[in-house]
Every structure is written in structure tokens, then in C-alpha cells.
Structure 1
Amino acid sequence: MLISDKLAEAFNQQIGNELANYLQYLAISNYFEKESLFALARLYSKQADEERDHAMKFNKFLLDAGRSPILPAIREPRNEFGSALEAAQVALDSEVATTRQIYDLVALATEGREYIPLNFLQWFLSEQLEEVASAESRLAIVRRAGPSVLMVEAYLVHETS
């Protein structure tokens, strides 16, 4: 067997976590879209797509390992934000929580000497470094802009052109 029942169950839960992250980033994107901050909306929409892709990686791994993914209930995302700073902080908090979840999966795979799933999880460890660093950077940029979030929009437009 390529993955134990216990780890497969944890991977199923992580699919739900990643889909919850997808919804959270979509809600953040929606907030920025409503505020007519279109560059920020695009950035968080792209991040939402990445989170969905992460869920699909876990889903595909389970299928390849001969398991049937069991999709869990997904928690409702936070939909209201008082400011751009608050929305960016929620994104960072989500990435920090995801990093802890991945660490827990690595510990479980290591404990069970499940080396194929452990190898699979290595990609997520590297990805979380990038995800947390990006979320921290976005939060810092929004924080520096202060109440003038339009400066962030101008920065992002300049950065991507």
C-alpha cells in the first residue's frame, strides 16, 4: 500500500483545507474588486487559483496511490474586511496555518515511514516558503501604503509591466 489509512484521511482533510484557502482568497479578491482595486483583485484571484491547484495535487496523489479521495465539508471563508490591511493579514494568517498543516502531514508521514507521500510533501514544504514570503511581502506593501491603497495598485501595475 502506498499510503496508510491514517495519512490518506489526513490528505483528504488537506484537500478541504486547500479548497477553503481557495475560497478565502476568492473572497479577498472579491473585496478588492468591490473596492475598485483591480490589480490587487487579480493578484488574489491568481492566488485563489493556486490554492485550488494545491487541492488538486492532493486529490491526484490519492487517486494515483489507489485511494478514493473523500472531499470534506469546507469552512465558510471570511467575506467582510474593514480594510486592505485586514484582508492582506487574513491571507498571511491562512498561509501560516497551511504551513503548520503541511508540517503535521510531514510528521505523520515520517512517523509512519511513508516515504512516497513524504517525497510528495517536499514540494509543499518549498511552496509554503514561497507562499508565506509572498503573503508577508504583500502585507508589508499594503501596510507601507497606509490609507492610500491606490499606491499599492500603482506599484503592482508597475511591477507586472
Structure 2
Amino acid sequence: MLISQKIEAEFNNQIGNELGNSHQYLAIAAYFEKEGLFGLAKIYAKQADEEREHAMKFVKFILDAGGTPRYPAIPEPRNSFSSAIDAAQLAYDSEVRTTDQIYALVELALSERNHIAHNFLQWFVSEQLEEVSSADTRLNVIRRAGPNVLMVEAYLAHT
């Protein structure tokens, strides 16, 4: 096996984290759709798909490295939000937390001198720059719109 049991266990844990993020984005998308904010709903539904793809990258890596993927239980996502800002803030906070999780995996790979795992994780390091930046931009646009979130929908229609 090309990875230690510890790396395998932590990567399996990250599968759960990524799937949990996917579920949370689905809940955010449902909130926006219920509010009639279909542009935002579409963005967050797409994010849910991306998070699932991230989980599957870990699954494939574990298999390729000779390990056994495991799918941990996924906690129920938060399903209610007080506002569009609240929902977007949760998404942003989730991406910051995921970045910290990826950094911890990188540190683990480096501490074990596992260059295969370290190389694999570099895609996620780069991806988190885009994820955090996009989440921050969405949050700031929603904040600027204030109570008139329909302005965000108009903005999205022109971007």
C-alpha cells in the first residue's frame, strides 16, 4: 500500500467532510430556490456537485494507493437560514474550514514523507484558493445588495 493507515483514515475522514459540504450546499441551494432566487440556487447546487466530485477524488486516490475507501456518516446539514447573507456566510465559513482540513492533510503527508499523497493534495490546495475566493465574492455581493437580494439575481444574469 502506498499510504499509511493513518493517511488512509484521514483521507477517508475527508471523504465525509467533502460529502458533508455537498449536502450543506444542497441545503443552501434549496433555501435560495424556496426564496425564488434561482440564480443563487443554481450556483449552490453546482457547488454541491463539485464537493461530491472532490470526495470522489479522494475515493479514487485511496483505491489507486491500495487502500480501502470508507464512507463515514454525514451529519445533517443546517437547513434553515435567517437571510441570504446567513446562507452565504455559512458557505464561506465551510470553505475556510475545508482549507484548514486540506492543510492538515498536507502536513500529515509531509510528516510521513509521503510524496505521492503530498502531490495529490496539491490540486486541493489550489482548488481551495478558488473556492474561498468565490465564496467570499458571493458573500460580498450579497452583503452589498442588503435586503434587496433580487439585485444579486440581476447581477448574476449579467455576469
Fold similarity call, TM over 0.5:
yes
Partner of 1:147: 147
Partner of 2:48: 48
Residue-by-residue CA offset, 1:46-85 (whole Å, 9 max, x unaligned): 0110000000000000111111101111111100000000
Does 2:85 match 1:88? no
- In 2, distance between residues paired with 1:117 and 1:136? 28
CA-CA distance at 1:40 after TM superposition: 0.3
- Aligned sequence identity (%): 68
Partner of 1:120: 120
Residue-by-residue CA offset, 1:70-120 (whole Å, 9 max, x unaligned): 111111110000000000000000000000000000000000000001000
CA-CA distance at 1:148 after TM superposition: 0.2
CA-CA distance at 1:21 after TM superposition: 0.2
Question: Which of structure 1's runs of 4+ aligned residues deviate more than 2 A?
Answer: none
Unmatched segments (≥5 aa) in structure 1:
none
Partner of 2:32: 32
Does 2:79 match 1:99? no
Report how many residues are paired: 159
Question: Could you tell which deviates more after superposition, 14-23 or 70-79?
Answer: 70-79
Q: TM-score, normalised by structure 1?
A: 0.98
- In 1, distance between residues paired with 2:52 and 2:70? 16
- In 1, distance between residues paired with 2:157 and 2:56? 30
Q: TM-score, normalised by structure 2?
A: 0.99
Q: Residue 38 of structure 2 aligns to which amino acid in structure 1? A: F
Unmatched segments (≥5 aa) in structure 2:
none
Q: Residue 75 of structure 2 aligns to which amino acid in structure 1? A: R
Alignment root-mean-square deviation, CA: 0.5
